[in-house]
A and B are shown apart, each in its own frame.
Chain A
């Protein structure tokens, strides 16, 4: 019986098997069409209209796009977003790689505990942590001010949230704190799929730890790094919860932490310019796609050795 089946023409077998391929991806696309595609089309359509949510919508063609040309706040929010993201992402990836290296190449007592704890920050609601850090730093009698003064590091309280740089820095820090453990786990998941014989060969060749890491591990975890970078870009351009809860929805001080998503929300639900906000969403999407494309090229082009 077994032999008989394998003697059936392979192309027919393949065809039948590939039909199954379609079957496997169908549930995704059906549900996606309903809950994913329709809202996206709705948003695209809305970006060509003017609508305040209460009275009927009117078509305004490309007026929203023209409005964007004169909008000084959107580019500012984009700069803020990218700045906050970069100051988060680079240390995030750096520390995660460092930790992955330490845990892969050295025997560490309590490794499981360390890894488990480093992931914990990812579990907390972003809004809650934003609020916590607001209370920690806000005002002359804030916890951090009291702590630093007690330790003698400060003579007078510092108004942290009046400084743009500090507020941006705190946002980046929170994001780093929330994501470095997650990134570490992903990198380690990628590392475990590397064939251990490669490491054995490297050891035989007398490679140092750094060389092994640099020449074997890093290139082979490129897909993981790619996944991490792209998902981070996608999430990064959309950050909302942390900056929105850190000071207020306007991105105080002086819009320093006004991110693109906060600005979209402001235009859509505070100024009720839903058409314009939809257009800004579309803009966000294009930016994310462009950045992802660049990242894809940069990471994959690094050569296949």
Chain B
């Protein structure tokens, strides 16, 4: 009986595994075929056209520069949002603030306004600050990243014991030191988790960079992939190479940070 349960469970897990990976696999396979083949043939094994598609891609656009641009935007964004997310979350979690609930509701509400139309206002702000066509409007908002604050506040409430803070205060530490030296290390898994989420959302952000950047040399990867699609030619082969290239940093960052998440997860899970 137990054996049967185990087989069913593993079968289920494996099915989900295949479902999760299949589209990625298809992207990689598609990048090795010509556009026409991609559309008309059913292929599950790699073809031979990768290099040709890659060269087509290079002809159409400087994809590696787009890659670098995406990095230049996403990494600082993640660092800002994680650090300041914890920063603000700490403030909300462990201090008595007048009107805390109202202020926090504002944080929450700010996530609820659809981004489409506020982009015009966003553009106007960036213009007034003289930051148009730079990467700053895409990085600085990381300091006010509501989902990081929301998430990390909860984590801090749960994982940072007041006793630890009291002890540190007894030692004469300033609040800032307490934050940097005691709070942050406590919540590393939470920070890593929100870090990945924010990296992904920044990496895949399309509308923001589209509006702010007017110099093609500064375009980030999602915009370049869209240009490859082109008006007339649908260069699917080249496009899939670009998508494949675009997938890798995210997967690598994930690989790097997932160790910390899994560490955090397994502490409680193993009994």
Contacts and interface: CB of A to CB of B under 8 A. Distances in A.
A34 B147 contact: no
Interface residues of A, number: 104
Contacts of A114: 13, 16-17
Contacts, number: 269
A85 B16 CA distance: 21
Nearest to A104: B269
A29 B99 CA distance: 14
Nearest to B258: A116
B88 A281 contact: no
Interface in B166-200: 169-172, 175, 179, 189-190, 193, 197, 200
For the residues of B in contact with A, the DSSP-based class is helix
Interface footprint category on B: 35 or more
A25, A142, A237, A268: most-surrounded residue (chain B CB, <10 A): A25
Contacts of B42: 143, 146-147, 150
Contact of B120 (A39, A120, A188): A39
Given A39-B121, A118-B16, A181-B20, A281 B91 contact: no
A155 interface: no
B77 interface: no
Interface string B186-220: 00011001000100100110100000000000000
Contact of A24 (B41, B114, B179): B179
Interface string A14-35: 1001101111110111111011
A18 B116 contact: no
A278 B92 CA distance: 32
A78 interface: no
Give the 3 A-B CB pairs with smallest separation, nearest first: A21-B95, A192-B268, A24-B91
Interface of B: 9-10, 13, 16-17, 19-21, 23-24, 26-27, 30, 38-42, 84, 87-88, 90-92, 94-97, 103, 106-122, 124-125, 129, 137, 140-141, 143-144, 147, 149-151, 154-155, 158-159, 169-172, 175, 179, 189-190, 193, 197, 200, 203-204, 206, 222, 225-226, 229, 236, 239, 243, 246-247, 250-251, 254-255, 258, 261-262, 264-269, 271
